[in-house]
Amino acid sequence: GAVVSQHPSWVICKSGTSVKIECRSLDFQATTMFWYRQFPKQSLMLMATSNEGSKATYEQGVEKDKFLINHASLTLSTLTVTSAHPEDSSFYICSAWDSPEAFFGQGTRLTVV
């Protein structure tokens, strides 16, 4: 099956700094990628849909200025958490669309201290 790679697997950053998470489709081109957030012991919450060459579509309640998404190529989408705060600590998972289904990355554990 298709492979999606997320980097880094875990990151610790200081409050107020920004951190970038990368999501790559390794063996296919993905015009559409997705970013999810998962709180402890909870399900995945879709944050935004990332479309190559255009602006991301954010779900209701997700701050687009805090969670910057860039999908500059057919194999790479990035999520930048700006001015991170401890409440942004979470597990972030990306997926990439390869019709007729999506394939998921291994996730990134973000801890803001």
Dist CA 89 CA 105 (whole Å): 18
| Binding residue for another protein, selected from 46, 62, 68, 76, defined by CB under 8 A | 46
| 77 makes contact with another protein (CB under 8 A) | no
Write the Ramachandran bin of 9: left for phi over 0, alpha for psi from -120 to 50, otherwise beta: alpha
How far apart are CB 91 and another protein at their closest, in Å? 7
Tokens of 97: 């669309």
Give residues 49-68 in contact with another protein (rule: CB under 8 A): 49
Dist CA 11 CA 49 (whole Å): 23
Dist CA 17 CA 72 (whole Å): 23
Question: Which range of residues in 11-19, 35-43, 65-73, 79-87 is near another protein by CB under 8 A?
Answer: 35-43
Beta pairing, strands 10-13 & 108-112: parallel
| 44 makes contact with another protein (CB under 8 A) | yes
Identity of the residue, 16 or 41, whose beta carbon is nearer to another protein in the bound complex: 41
Per CB under 8 A, residues contacting another protein are 1, 6, 10, 32, 34, 41-44, 46, 49, 91, 93, 95, 97, 100-107, 109
